[in-house]
Structure 1
Amino acid sequence: MSDAHLSRRAVLTALGALGAVAALPPTAAARPARRSPAVHAGGRRVAVLGGGMAGLTAAHELVERGFDVTVFEPSALGGKARSIPSPGTGAGGRLDLPGEHGFRFFPGFYQHIPDTMRRIPFPGNPNGVFDNLVAGHAFRMAIPGAPDLTAPASIAPPRFDIYDPLTLQESLSAAFSLGGAIPADELGVFVRKLVMFLTSSIERRNGQWENETWAQTLEAEGKSQGYRDILVSALTRQLVAARPQTVSTRTIGIMGQAFVWNAMGVVPQYGHLDRVLSAPTNEAWIDPWAQLLRELGVKFEMGWGAEALEVSGGRITGARVTDRSGARATVDADWYVAAMPAERAVSLWSPQILALDPHLEAMNELVTDWMVGIQYFLRRPTPIAAGHVAYLGSPWALTSISQAQFWRGDFAARYGDGSAHDCLSVDISDWDTPGILYGKTAKQCTAEEIARETWAQMAACLEDGTGAIDENDIVSWFLDPGVRWGPGGNRNDTPLLINTAGSLAHRPEARTAIPNLFLAGDYVRTDIDLATMEGANESARAAVGALLEAAGSSAPPPAQYRLHEPPELEPLRRADADRYRAGLPHMLAV
């Protein structure tokens, strides 16, 4: 079975080839082409089930350590991170217009993804794919009926005594004042809560904050519209597609403190807070990565997805895979890495699997939600901001970025038929609130209605007399094909895991109780604790480290990084640990 390129056309061609070989003996169609002499205890053949961010990371780390790796991917490499060409839009030798699941965002506190990027060669780049990251310098908050707020992506370094709690509150108050958009007394509540989290012990975070929702912690009830739109909602719906009434304060707090330390410039190893790619994701990252992995010896079996795991003697003895034509095959390997999204991984947990690792059943309690993108291809460059835009108060919790200003080369000369000069990529984070045009939720709208409604909500937020966007500029638009319409209503093939309050207990570790099965995905417990590319990469590294140990390998485990916890605050966290164990509230609790 030959490898497939990453374009949609090539994937379809590969699927046709798969049908031609369906008559081969099942194991021959899916088994790695050769079996090298085992150099590790227990063998060296690894089947990676899934070719998204977690699967590619696992394959990369394993092949560098001498394992024979085969990746089984049912649709396209890169998963939700990949580019998705808008079919049939290229002309005159140009590429199809570049669609995507949603825009890519690489905060400066990401450390695993940049480490991987630096190891992927790219022509002319001393640091490989990493050098394709460029900085967004401003963040714009567009508010209907009010002046927009534009803030730099980083702020001046604070005073040296920032870690004193009172000074920390003053610094954060200045950072979050947002031009007076939030009443001072309410801003004080928010900052006090944030400082409480920053100085909380791990015990309190995993106990109290994990089991509270963000809305509960911020005492959202009765607060002003600005407080609820910006501090309660925007930090959850627009950044991580989570409802403040359900998402864990622990998760939002971990992200919040990472953004704070990054923006304040107090962590030397962090990069610029707001980084984006200098080209569509496949061009800038995924394609060079896949090419490198092939050169290193990774085999990609495209069009095949895992449907069941076979068990005998307490181990996985095979993985049954199927393609879109219904052909089936059995994968024979020594080690198995399930690198699938949570909602697909649970379909593998048969009674036999759960008998060996009962904790996996808790994954059925995990919650997913929709965060899906739409791209508008525009007749003129439309740099609404030199970075991301949050449309505060928009019913569908919209965020966007104008791509062409960051992408190398001439957009119109490279993509489409030459008439489009920009790509305005928009993330729709709330699919359950009625819009302003049709009075329907995004889940109830047709694709055309979603395109019109999303544009109308952005225009309502940008009514500031600048003519930031004009619907006459729209050449075409592209909605993530993961959203599908049918007689039973809309469905989304690529939902996002949401860390609801109390869900940490339901999330597994990378190492399972089955000795040759490991988990990699953004649902696995990680330090970053959020469904992100970084979380997927981190979890895959943990899975590889556990596999190396189980295999008796002498190869060093992949590097793993932790988010910055200021040592200056450690005395306060120790004191809070004593208070928490004694059943006392945080010292700043009112």
Structure 2
Amino acid sequence: MSDQLPKKSASIDRRTALRGAVAGAAILAAGSAVSGAATAAAPRRRTPGLRTGGKEVAVFGGGMAGLAAAHELVERGFRVTVYEPAFLGGKARSMPVPGTGAGGRADLPGEHGFRFFPGCYQNIPDTMRRIPFPGNPNGVLDNLIRVEGTVAGFRDKPPIFAPVEVGALDQLTPERLQNSIIGAFGFIPELPPHELAFFAKQMLMWFTSSPERRFGQWEYLTWEQIMRADGKSPAYRAYLVNALTRITVAAKPHLSSARTIGTIGEALVLAGTGLVPEFSGGVDRILNRPTNTAWIDPWVAYLRSRGVQFVMGQRASRLHHANGRIESVTVTDGGIATSVIADHYVCAMPVDKTVPLLDDQILSADPHLAGMRELLTDWMVGIQFYLRRPTEIPEGHIAALGSPWALTALRQAPMWVGDFPAQYGDGSAAECLSVDISDWDTPGILHHRPAKQCSAQEIASEVWAQLKMWLNTGTGWLRDEDIHSWHLDPGVSWSGGTAHNETPLLVNTVGSYDHRPTAHCAVPNLFFGGDHVRSNIDLATMESANESGRSAANAIIDAADDPAAHAPVFPLVALPAFEPAKRLDADRFRAGLPHILDV
């Protein structure tokens, strides 16, 4: 993957304006919501007389998208079988560290990466509310707890504890938004005030940009370009442009679509204001137990109780297309191939596993699917450090701002129910510090190599060294002698000295929206789910994957001409205060003029 993109001016030309107009029309046609709460869907037309199609659904992939599709379909009377080659829950799962439990305790809890549930998520909370959990009136949703602050670490400087909330406001005007952003990031050291003001102005430009400009201009510029990083101070580039992007969405600012970064940035800001009832969870929530215990296992149990069948160890290896439809799917298990026949087929696998299934016949039926070959993936993988004594780091997320490997972390033990050493391991581990590594391509400070070129032991020692460099100045929070053990996501493996990641995630590069599929395609009984499918939040997250599963379920309901109600698909929300500015900007964009703040 090349890290070089041609520089593109932030101003727009006639071609860009026309492209934006087309994109805006496509948005409306696709029913994408860009402001306000969800509106009632228009009644669906139904075929008179006998209904077409059956209710047998085969779902390939038991991650977030596949489980969400199965959930919505089985509750509407469909017969669903999920085929999963490895682990249910996908990248959202947790896993025990084998052989670490003793004295009746469970194995130490490991995971792909700590779970983060922003208040702007709406689809996942709706699902969680419908999964029973003993003693919880709102199901597993009640296993989420709110996080009030973040520890911001800086290299060789004392860390700072910063609240994650913008602060409850009675209203959010453009002026208040700009002032709130300046206040929120004023703690960053060595950041020139005029550059912070410029950053706030660029964010205000996003909030007041029309959908036409967002899809016609911002989609084709990188975050680095839209934030005019060239010529700015090292602090501006390191913290506001790079670090905030990497730790929030694991995206590279010189590659990522500015529209994607702006979309999640706006949602997080609005979640922190307290002004949007739909975003009632605040900026930051986490689970109060290991992910599988708190969420995935109860979910699978509930789906089984409703009739969902799970076939483990089998991976889709070929889609058989004939007579304009998918007639069957070959699945393999240890070299043994079998055929799966259903009425509807959902490819709910990661994009890198889906692309090899799209043969010439399928691409001939729907040429747009070839765009998936152009999509890029990157790594964001977790490592856990088990410590013999609790650290004194304040509870909440930890961001090592500007660290080479873009590290974020979370102290899990103090935020989980129960006594950690009494429940897990051999009783001598009192703390679980879970760390996400978002940058695997930048050399570190200890071994001076990217994570992809390090062994598992070198990754562990490098992560620990970076955490100490970014968090220990004036604190002494992390001590070498406290390390009990560590656990790296087993999805990372080595062969011939080369690292491989079984679970990469989509990177929303500039223009990638054009290549991404919708949940349905021109093949009438083939559907797609996953974080690469177009969604409202439009970012490789649990929320986007969940939304794609709902969209796939809705498309199947329509394809089967079934009378069941659609699963709700929740849009993001924008505030009315910004609508007049957006309408003005839509006129300017159609006229080929820059945003009024783009000076």
TM-score of the superposed pair, with normalisation by structure 2:
0.90
Corresponding letter in the other structure for 2:504: P
For residues 426 and 313 of structure 1, what CA distance do their matches in structure 2 show?
50
Corresponding letter in the other structure for 1:557: H
Partner residue of 1:278? 288
Deviation by residue 1:514-566 (Cα, 9 ceiling, x = unmatched): 00011111100000000000000001111111110110000001011111111
For residues 488 and 461 of structure 1, what CA distance do their matches in structure 2 show?
29
State the 1:112 CA deviation: 0.3
Cα pair distance change 1:459/1:544, threshold 3 Å: same
Deviation by residue 1:165-199 (Cα, 9 ceiling, x = unmatched): 33332232222222665211100111111000000
Partner residue of 1:500? 509
Structure 2 residue 245 is matched with structure 1 residue 233: no
State the 1:420 CA deviation: 0.6
For residues 556 and 183 of structure 1, what CA distance do their matches in structure 2 show?
54
Partner residue of 1:216? 225
SS at 2:317 equivalent: strand
State the 1:146 CA deviation: 2.1
For residues 127 and 76 of structure 1, what CA distance do their matches in structure 2 show?
26
Q: 1:154 aligns with which of 122, 146, 165?
A: 165
Q: What is the correspondence of 1:57-456 to structure 2 with a 5 Å cutoff? A: 57-158=68-169, 160=171, 162-163=172-173, 165-178=174-187, 181-270=190-279, 271-323=281-333, 325-456=334-465
For residues 403 and 157 of structure 1, what CA distance do their matches in structure 2 show?
27
For residues 246 and 371 of structure 2, what CA distance do their matches in structure 1 show?
25
For residues 98 and 203 of structure 1, what CA distance do their matches in structure 2 show?
46
Structure 2 residue 478 is matched with structure 1 residue 466: no
In structure 2, the gaps of 5 or more residues are 1-49
SS at 2:95 equivalent: strand
Partner residue of 2:42? none
For residues 383 and 136 of structure 1, what CA distance do their matches in structure 2 show?
16
Indicate conservation of the 8 Å contact 2:147/2:286, yes or no: yes
State the 1:40 CA deviation: 5.7
In structure 1, the gaps of 5 or more residues are 1-38
Q: Kindly, what percent of the aligned residue pairs are identical?
A: 58
Corresponding letter in the other structure for 2:524: P
State the 1:488 CA deviation: 5.4
For residues 179 and 488 of structure 1, what CA distance do their matches in structure 2 show?
39
Cα pair distance change 1:506/1:388, threshold 3 Å: same
For residues 576 and 345 of structure 2, what CA distance do their matches in structure 1 show?
39
SS at 1:140 equivalent: strand
State the 1:41 CA deviation: 2.7
Corresponding letter in the other structure for 1:190: F
Partner residue of 1:545? 554
Corresponding letter in the other structure for 2:466: Q
For residues 146 and 56 of structure 2, what CA distance do their matches in structure 1 show?
40
Indicate conservation of the 8 Å contact 1:158/1:171, yes or no: no
Deviation by residue 1:115-166 (Cα, 9 ceiling, x = unmatched): 0000000000010000000111111110012232221121322353x32x33
SS at 1:405 equivalent: helix
Q: What is the correspondence of 1:25-44 to structure 2 with a 5 Å cutoff? A: 41-44=52-55
For residues 436 and 458 of structure 1, what CA distance do their matches in structure 2 show?
11
State the 1:383 CA deviation: 5.0
Indicate conservation of the 8 Å contact 1:378/1:474, yes or no: yes
Structure 2 residue 594 is matched with structure 1 residue 585: yes
Structure 2 residue 578 is matched with structure 1 residue 569: yes
Indicate conservation of the 8 Å contact 2:519/2:527, yes or no: yes
Structure with higher RCO (Cα < 8 A, 6+ apart): 2
SS at 1:585 equivalent: coil
For residues 552 and 476 of structure 2, what CA distance do their matches in structure 1 show?
50
Q: 2:530 aligns with which of 521, 527, 530?
A: 521
State the 1:103 CA deviation: 0.6
For residues 520 and 434 of structure 2, what CA distance do their matches in structure 1 show?
37
Indicate conservation of the 8 Å contact 2:272/2:283, yes or no: yes
Cα pair distance change 1:478/1:319, threshold 3 Å: same
State the 1:375 CA deviation: 0.4
Indicate conservation of the 8 Å contact 1:383/1:405, yes or no: no
SS at 1:485 equivalent: strand
TM-score of the superposed pair, with normalisation by structure 1:
0.92
SS at 1:360 equivalent: helix
Indicate conservation of the 8 Å contact 2:158/2:474, yes or no: no
State the 1:385 CA deviation: 2.6
Corresponding letter in the other structure for 1:195: L
Deviation by residue 1:371-418 (Cα, 9 ceiling, x = unmatched): 111000111122523211110121111000010111100111111111
Cα pair distance change 1:147/1:465, threshold 3 Å: closer
Corresponding letter in the other structure for 1:512: C
SS at 1:477 equivalent: strand
After TM superposition, the structure 1 stretch with the greater mean CA deviation from structure 2, 488-497 or 199-208, is 488-497
Deviation by residue 1:232-273 (Cα, 9 ceiling, x = unmatched): 012211121111100010000001101111111111221121
Cα pair distance change 1:332/1:571, threshold 3 Å: same
Corresponding letter in the other structure for 2:212: E
For residues 176 and 60 of structure 2, what CA distance do their matches in structure 1 show?
49
Indicate conservation of the 8 Å contact 2:111/2:489, yes or no: yes
Cα pair distance change 1:322/1:230, threshold 3 Å: same
State the 1:338 CA deviation: 0.6
Deviation by residue 1:345-382 (Cα, 9 ceiling, x = unmatched): 10110111111111111101001011111000111122
For residues 470 and 143 of structure 2, what CA distance do their matches in structure 1 show?
31
Corresponding letter in the other structure for 1:291: A
Q: Structure 1: which 4+ aligned runs deviate by more than 3 Å?
A: none
SS at 2:177 equivalent: helix
State the 1:459 CA deviation: 0.2
SS at 2:310 equivalent: strand
After TM superposition, the structure 1 stretch with the greater mean CA deviation from structure 2, 180-189 or 369-378, is 180-189
Corresponding letter in the other structure for 2:424: Y
For residues 569 and 318 of structure 1, what CA distance do their matches in structure 2 show?
50
For residues 559 and 110 of structure 2, what CA distance do their matches in structure 1 show?
41
SS at 1:588 equivalent: coil
SS at 1:537 equivalent: helix
Indicate conservation of the 8 Å contact 1:149/1:179, yes or no: no
For residues 559 and 535 of structure 1, what CA distance do their matches in structure 2 show?
14
Corresponding letter in the other structure for 1:44: K
After TM superposition, the structure 1 stretch with the greater mean CA deviation from structure 2, 422-431 or 266-275, is 266-275
| C-alpha RMSD of the superposition | 1.2
State the 1:229 CA deviation: 1.9
For residues 173 and 239 of structure 1, what CA distance do their matches in structure 2 show?
18
SS at 1:318 equivalent: strand
